[in-house]
Structure 1
Amino acid sequence: MEQVARFYGGPGGLVQAVRTALEEAGLDPCRLRPDDLAPLDEFHIRGRAASMEIVAALAVTSDSHVVDLGSGLGGPARTIAKTTGCTVTGVDLTPEFVELATALSQWTGLSDRTHFMVGDATATGLPETSVDAVVTVHAGMNIADKAALYAEAFRVLRPGGRFVLYDVLQGEGGEVHYPVPWAKDESTSWLATPDRTRQLLVEAGFEVVEQADSSDESLEWFRQVRARIEREGQPPVTFATFLGDAFAEMAANQVTNLAERRIRTVMVVCSRPQ
């Protein structure tokens, strides 16, 4: 776990680095629009489209409490909270990410509905059956004990609630080309196949409502992002701020891995039986 936290933690001072980048782009951190943070909040593959699919699958209301396991910079949490009016608690292993997620929610006026804490997604310490929905977005790749992750999601979820997983899974095309945005090498990367993921979810007690593979759409999304950058230039703040000079190679490998079916993007919607 310490290796994973170090990989994402960067050199420190992430809040100031993002504030400076925004100000240099002529943006006031205290008056941000959702689009200003899109490159960060929608860092996951397929961006906004995937975010809205997750929101719909969670089936929550303004009275709901959602937990985001592996919440990163809080993008999905903010999207869910802003779209539905619910409250979201994010749990992430990296202290710098929790600090920045908290700041970004303050800057976007969502600190009353999004809260972030440093913790282990496999053992959050949250009360049993205390939340209405659970989500995890592109976090399982860094978690070796997926059985523990899914068991924790089941434990904190109330009966009848939904668990939505949107993750990068192992494809049939062979071993992954590294580095990638979640790992420099295989030492902090643990991918499960779609079949194994479904099996572990069922073993945790969940009923699988839907499983959707979006790999083809993901590849097209990357092509559109590349075309937009060539046309408009890089946005003011991207994950290169945290992942450094290797980010370009990581992004290129991500596209190659998708094209060669070494990875797949899959969303699984589950429910905890009544």
Structure 2
Amino acid sequence: MPTDESKTDTGYETALNEHYGVSGLGNELLDALEAAGKDVDALTRDDIASVDEFHIRGLEATREVADLAEVEDHSRVLDVGCGIGGPARTLASEFGCDVVGLDIVEEYCRAATLFTDRVGLTEKVRFQHGNALDLPFEDEEFDVVWFEHALPNIEATEVAIEEAGRVLRPGGTLALYEICAGPGGEPVFPVPWASDASLSHLDPPDRLREIVLDCGCDETVWKDVTGPSLEWFENVVESMQSRAADAPPPLGLNLLMGAETPNKAANVVQNLKEERIAVVQGVYERGSYPL
């Protein structure tokens, strides 16, 4: 288990927690769910679906990547950058996996644990605070390592992928659903993953593929899904703009993104349209040779 402190930056970790870590997030979400008429003492995954998956195209994309990766029943999965746990709960409940979710944001880990308990999945899913650059797990511990929109906040992509390969068994699967740098120039900020460039670290698609291949993985799937991502976010922005001014706050990802949600969503649309960012899915198999 690695202990190299040079891999991690506590100042950067603090900045990420300040960007994402709304104090008391779990209780805030419970209050919003209750205000929307949900029975918070008997929640289902459907009840929390609108806030559960903090990435482009939500639950649809998680299912899509799991199908592409051919995730099998009883697979042991590590979800790196798990957020409040939506994809981990999906993999457990719909694909029969045993999942460990890891996130650098402590408040996300607390909220993820709370909601996993509320929907009755604690025997299949657990969450742990930790850093993708220094994974607190033994070598070859997982069948699948899963990244969904985690890499934009990771400056040292090579280290994160090396760590993923280390904890992945030979023949295991690395699944990626990530935002990459596009050819159209630097992104317009703020965006959901960063208020400014200091927290945003996007690799071009070809560079990301090169990093994974150099770590001893073989590519089985690579898809550019920028088109459907743009369509989805355009619908999000249209829905926001069509809401009456006196309407109550929606029960959605605005609860995670805060007051800047409309601006962040509009900027994502602009970035996608102007090819400042791209969205990709990739599936890789870890080779049996040493990393």
How high is the TM-score relative to the length of structure 1?
0.94
Match of 2:196 among 181, 185, 188: 185
Match of 1:168 among 157, 174, 179: 179
1:5 maps onto 2:5 in alignment: no
2:83 aligned partner: 72
Q: Secondary structure at the match of 1:270?
A: strand
> Quick one: structure 1 residues 42 and 242, their matched pair in 2 at CA, closer, same or farther if it must change by over 3 Å?
closer
Shift of 1:18: 0.7
Amino acid corresponding to residue 216 of structure 1 in structure 2 = G
Amino acid corresponding to residue 252 of structure 2 in structure 1 = T
Distance in 1 separating the partners of 2:204 and 2:29: 35
Per-residue CA deviation, residues 112-132 of structure 1 (Å, 9 max, x unaligned), is 111000000121120100111
Per-residue CA deviation, residues 9-54 of structure 1 (Å, 9 max, x unaligned), is 12x1111101111111110123223222222223211222211112
How high is the TM-score relative to the length of structure 2?
0.89
Residues 21-32 of structure 1 mapped to structure 2, 5 A cutoff: 21-32=32-43
Distance in 2 separating the partners of 1:124 and 1:27: 36
1:140 aligned partner: 151
8 Å Cα contact 1:40/1:237 also seen in 2: yes
1:101 maps onto 2:115 in alignment: no
* Divergent runs of 4+, >4 A: 231-236
CA RMSD of aligned residues (A): 1.7
1:33 maps onto 2:47 in alignment: no
1:267 maps onto 2:277 in alignment: no
1:245 aligned partner: 259
2:139 aligned partner: 128
8 Å Cα contact 1:179/1:253 also seen in 2: yes
Shift of 1:234: 7.5
Amino acid corresponding to residue 100 of structure 1 in structure 2 = A
Amino acid corresponding to residue 212 of structure 2 in structure 1 = L
Unaligned runs of 5+ in 2: 1-12
8 Å Cα contact 1:128/1:155 also seen in 2: yes
Residues 52-91 of structure 1 mapped to structure 2, 5 A cutoff: 52-91=63-102
Amino acid corresponding to residue 263 of structure 2 in structure 1 = E
Distance in 2 separating the partners of 1:225 and 1:187: 26
1:117 aligned partner: 128
Amino acid corresponding to residue 231 of structure 2 in structure 1 = E
8 Å Cα contact 1:60/1:132 also seen in 2: no
8 Å Cα contact 1:21/1:236 also seen in 2: no
Distance in 2 separating the partners of 1:207 and 1:70: 23
Worse overlay, 44-53 or 183-192? 44-53
Worse overlay, 255-264 or 39-48? 39-48
Worse overlay, 176-185 or 198-207? 198-207
Shift of 1:86: 1.2
Aligned-pair identity (%): 39
1:223 maps onto 2:237 in alignment: no
2:221 aligned partner: 210
> Quick one: structure 1 residues 231 and 258, their matched pair in 2 at CA, closer, same or farther if it must change by over 3 Å?
same
Distance in 2 separating the partners of 1:214 and 1:189: 20
Per-residue CA deviation, residues 196-249 of structure 1 (Å, 9 max, x unaligned), is 001111111111111100001111112233445537978753332233211211
Per-residue CA deviation, residues 250-274 of structure 1 (Å, 9 max, x unaligned), is 1110111011110011011111013
Give the aligned length.
273
